[in-house]
């Protein structure tokens, strides 16, 4: 399995403050989607910047094509409320809990 990271960015600067009810539902679906990746032991970590600038998802997948599918199936991306970009990634150091 290879490691990947995808970044998501809201399509407007004031997204956090101006989120519509529909966007709020999509973001809840996004969170559930990430929880499913975690349950499948594919997700390494995920989270947003607190200023709303972007979020990241670090995960494992067996190919670039499948990693791209993971990103494109994220409800925030597939519903067009976030732009996204995918990169190969390597976790070099991580604090143990």
Q: 84 lies in a domain?
A: yes
* pLDDT tens-digit readout, 9-33: 999 989 999 999 999 999 999 999 9
Mean pLDDT computed over 68-77: 98
pLDDT for the residue 83: 97
Residue 22 host element (H or E): helix 21-39
Tell me the residue range of the domain where 23 lies: 2-89
> Residue 70 domain-assigned?
yes
| pTM summary value | 0.93
The CATH number of whichever domain residue 26 belongs to comes to 3.30.70.1060
Report the domain count for the chain: 1
**pLDDT for residue 96 is more than 90:** no
Q: List, for residues 53-63, the tens digit of each pLDDT value.
A: 999 999 999 99
pLDDT band at 97 (very low <50, low <70, confident <90, very high): confident
d(CA 71, CA 12) in angstroms, rounded, equals 20
- Specify if 69 maps to a domain: yes
């Amino acid at each position: 399995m290879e490691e990947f990271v995808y970044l998501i960015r809201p399509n407007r600067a004031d997204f956090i403050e101006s989120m519509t009810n529909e966007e709020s539902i999509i973001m809840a679906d996004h969170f559930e989607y990430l929880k499913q990746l975690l349950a499948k032991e594919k997700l390494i970590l995920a989270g947003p910047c607190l200023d709303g600038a972007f979020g990241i998802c670090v995960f494992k997948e067996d190919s670039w094509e499948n990693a791209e599918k993971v990103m494109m199936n994220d409800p925030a991306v597939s519903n067009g409320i976030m732009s996204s970009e995918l990169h190969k990634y390597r976790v070099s150091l991580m604090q143990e809990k």
